[in-house]
Structure 1
């Protein structure tokens, strides 16, 4: 007769995934859970009802494959005074600043349902929780469960952020302290990485954000192991992806630039107007994914006709969630203007699509350094300001500059040709590695 220890060992490993409430965190976590489930683990994703709807398509595909099971466990989203249904960071882009503070308060309050789940669903062998849930390291330890960190960002950006938090180069960069053009060096990295003061988080000006990242990093250090077509979510059922793909089918190979800045990035009307001018001036075909609730008052005269979303129009506008991996892997794609979120960078490189980089906050300026200076698969639009808040006003990049960056990437010129060639080589190398490993990675950005 088997002993209790032997019976326990016969049970599959139970992994609890607890991703942050944003598409760029939820979807990669669901994909990782599917990989573990396919290898025999019992995987549960703990989230709220609205966020469950975001990952449901990915989970259903994993379960339909028959090689493993991923379960979704529901918990209530805390009542912090947000409008009904606002349970995801993506929904905050059109709301007031105080709503973001309420949302982050809710992020702290979900500790209680998280702990209750661990208490009522034994055994959980390991927790894989988002770095933004810094309290989860202690909460998991209280139940004797090891916690692994899910960061959803690149090792390069992670290293840059670690260097920032450990050394605080602002304390050692005393020359021209008030000059946003002063270069800040990040020590301890194999490559020389320098950014302007305006491109990185200043702990003196953003003490709250600095403390947030320090708290996350400290919790991560205490954690265990600190170290295509069907992809994405059905977040906006109104998006007619077939219409977009049919429009792309009418365009010559490599002629279209795709513009998307993720689900949490917000531009002022003046910035949107300059982006539209830049797309017009570039002369290229384009697909532009913008917020579903964005007004059209910023559109310059004639731009609506330019983006009629018909075969002979130069532009196609998608409002809301875009089928990004399908677009990037379409033969008509020649370039991608991106905020440099890590999921977007991964998808672009995997598809062999070079980038026009326009970082705004978080790890994005670090990712730009990797794309433009280390991998050499992109052109910078010249963004200089770190946005600590979506409501901040910064220098507006002109349409002429935007058009110039697009043409440098997409045009028949020495720089563009070299970047295109390098991107194809890197994309082919990644594809070969994935095929040899028997894995298919399909990540979608927030």
Structure 2
């Protein structure tokens, strides 16, 4: 018998793959071997991005199953992706488990599944394999997803999850973010049909999670005590990004531009604006240009992650304002994708203009970096509320009458954030709390060690 073998299956999106990969690396350090199941589409992206680093020491074995979509279809369309996942992936996972557990020696001992893939926990149960639910985002978002029945009873949403009054803010309990129901996870993902599918999936996932012994979450008590008073059974073992040494295989879908770090080495401490919007955010051409001109107006060095697919319909290269690249060439650097954890840990970073995805949020927190918040969809509005109103380590942007964040607004918020020392002081204090929770006697580390003991027993 070798080390216990775990099958790990993330929801097929960048913000879900990375934290489960971080958890997988931690489990490898404790003697487990991991079979990491991406969709075929994402598996290819990870392999293309990492080349020979993919094989590593062999303790994380990357495999894939189809996602039920055609090669050219848009995987950012949540309705189609949800259909593909539900119609095709369950039978493919059954086939994979049969194949692996048909070989005598190295059977799967546990399945760790993203809560958004609750059906995988049901399949694990069919095979008699203990399942563990993993939640990669904030505990508060999970508390919200678990509260759908109460929201229905209180007439905040109807049976399809549609808000009855989307403009009125609600708060689930004190010390948790206030929200507009129009920004609930399922209401911010597109049209009504998509919303209905995602809402139904949420209800199914809630049921699947009821039967697992461990529901682990990529957060810590200190960051969101209010959320844990709502759902005490969530067990925080994070932030995972604060616990790991930087592993070569991060699970990123794009090649990471290592020249970012060499460039940062040449900048003054605490001088650089880091600008990155995760894997989904899309800008229209006007907004893209205003952002470029705002960074130019700020008159500070900046490192800007410009994904190849970041603008609607047009290549970003064609959208930079005329002469922009020449004017900023001595203080601005644009890259396709950055090794973000290493960037945020770099002493030259002053602040982070972010879409406020949970991974970016905890990576910034773990390094004491203040934020300028530019949420796009899903839980990013909740995380913005945490950053600006609860933790007070950042500011949001105001949109003008065109619904655009103007260059002047960008310049003015950068100045306001960096002039006021209190943002950096609070961010450093929060960094201390986060790092304490993952160190040897910290609450997240204790829970993680109990989890390891349970799996080894």
TM-score band by shorter chain is: 0.7 to 0.9
How many residue pairs get aligned? The number is 392
Q: Distance in 1 between matches of 2:149 and 2:372?
A: 28
2:416 to 408, 415, 419: 408
What residue is the counterpart of 1:72 in the other structure? 61
Change (3 A) 1:271 1:218: farther
Change (3 A) 1:132 1:125: same
Q: Distance in 2 between matches of 1:359 and 1:145?
A: 38
| Structure 1 position 275 matched with structure 2 position 291 | yes
Give the C-alpha shift of residue 142 in structure 1: 1.6
What residue is the counterpart of 1:427 in the other structure? 431
User: Contact 2:6 / 2:112 at 8 angstroms: preserved in 1?
Assistant: yes
Equivalence map 1:33-182=2 (5 Å):
33-48=24-39, 51-52=42-43, 64=57, 70-78=59-67, 80-83=69-72, 92=75, 101-108=79-86, 109-122=88-101, 123-163=107-147, 166-168=150-152, 171-172=155-156, 182=167
| Structure 1 position 208 matched with structure 2 position 204 | no
Give the C-alpha shift of residue 262 in structure 1: 0.3
**Deviation by residue 1:153-199 (Cα, 9 ceiling, x = unmatched):** 0213322443456414983499xx9986x332132x24253223543
TM-score (norm 1): 0.77
Indicate the SS of the match to 1:351: coil
Give the C-alpha shift of residue 28 in structure 1: 1.7
User: Superposition RMSD on alpha carbons, in Å?
Assistant: 3.4
| Structure 1 position 32 matched with structure 2 position 27 | no
User: Contact 2:65 / 2:93 at 8 angstroms: preserved in 1?
Assistant: no
**Deviation by residue 1:81-106 (Cα, 9 ceiling, x = unmatched):** 223xx8xxxx846xxx5xx5544333
Indicate the SS of the match to 2:342: helix
Task: Name stretches of at least 5 consecutive residues in structure 1 with no aligned partner.
Answer: 1-9, 385-393, 441-446
Change (3 A) 1:220 1:346: same
Q: Distance in 2 between matches of 1:349 and 1:11?
A: 38
Change (3 A) 1:59 1:325: farther
Task: Name stretches of at least 5 consecutive residues in structure 2 with no aligned partner.
Answer: 102-106, 216-233, 235-244, 310-314, 446-457
User: Contact 2:177 / 2:386 at 8 angstroms: preserved in 1?
Assistant: no
TM-score (norm 2): 0.75
Q: Distance in 1 between matches of 2:18 and 2:56?
A: 15
Q: Distance in 2 between matches of 1:409 and 1:165?
A: 40
